[in-house]
């Protein structure tokens, strides 16, 4: 069945006509052309498709598009500011070698961003707990954890930008 839904996508009010059986991942990639969110396993095992719905990290491959009606969705494309300046978590990944092949990076960064919204000063165990559902097959976990820890520290001294981003 076709139906119209309205939701906030990366800060923009968006109205689209969808089919009931579309996943959020299908809507983002195939219909809206937002290719930053990746499809890995399609069954919630790998976390490559992680996005935030109402500030919570979810697997877009197991989330029906119809269920984002009236909600707020943030994808990897929505993190950088309008002038192209990267979000502190993205910067930290770039600066600390948190990216190798890059396929898991959008999902990792979304999981990390959701964690930092909830807990601004995570311990290493909190970070591992938060990204346990994200697989990096380059196995660069040490640098990824390091990046998230450093992003947390950057955000502490840089709350203005983060607050501005949270309120958009």
Residues found near another protein in the complex (CB under 8 A): 1, 19-21, 23, 42-45, 47, 50, 53, 56-59, 62-64, 66-67, 111, 114-115, 128-130, 132-134
**Nearest distance from C-beta of residue 49 to another protein, angstroms:** 9
**Nearest distance from C-beta of residue 168 to another protein, angstroms:** 21
β 56-59/2-9 pair status? unpaired
**Nearest distance from C-beta of residue 83 to another protein, angstroms:** 30
Whole-number Cα distances in Å, 53 to 8, 47, 96, 152, 156? 10, 14, 27, 21, 24
50 versus 96: smaller Cβ distance to another protein: 50
| 121 CB-contact burial (10 Å; exposed 0-12 / middle 13-18 / buried 19+) | exposed
**Nearest distance from C-beta of residue 108 to another protein, angstroms:** 12
53 versus 79: smaller Cβ distance to another protein: 53
72 versus 128: smaller Cβ distance to another protein: 128
> Rounded to an integer, what distance in angstroms lies between the CA atom of residue 32 and that of residue 27?
6
* Spatial CB neighbours of 77, under 8 Å, sequence gap ≥ 6: 10, 34, 36
């Amino acid at each position: 069945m076709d139906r119209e839904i309205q939701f906030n996508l990366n800060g923009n009010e968006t109205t689209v006509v969808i089919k009931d059986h579309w996943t959020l991942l299908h809507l983002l990639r195939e219909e809206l052309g937002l290719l930053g969110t990746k499809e890995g396993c399609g069954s919630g095992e790998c976390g490559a498709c992680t996005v935030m719905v109402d500030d919570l990290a979810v697997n877009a491959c197991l989330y029906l598009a119809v269920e984002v009606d009236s909600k707020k969705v943030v994808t990897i494309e929505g993190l950088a500011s309008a002038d192209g300046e990267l979000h502190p978590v993205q910067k930290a990944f770039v600066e600390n070698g948190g990216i190798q092949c890059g396929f898991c990076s959008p999902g990792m960064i979304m999981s990390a961003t959701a964690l930092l919204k909830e807990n601004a000063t995570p311990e290493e165990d909190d970070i591992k707990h938060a990204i346990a559902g994200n697989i990096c097959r380059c196995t660069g976990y040490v640098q990824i954890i390091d990046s998230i820890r450093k992003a947390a520290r950057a955000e502490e001294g840089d709350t203005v930008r983060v607050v501005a981003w949270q309120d958009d």
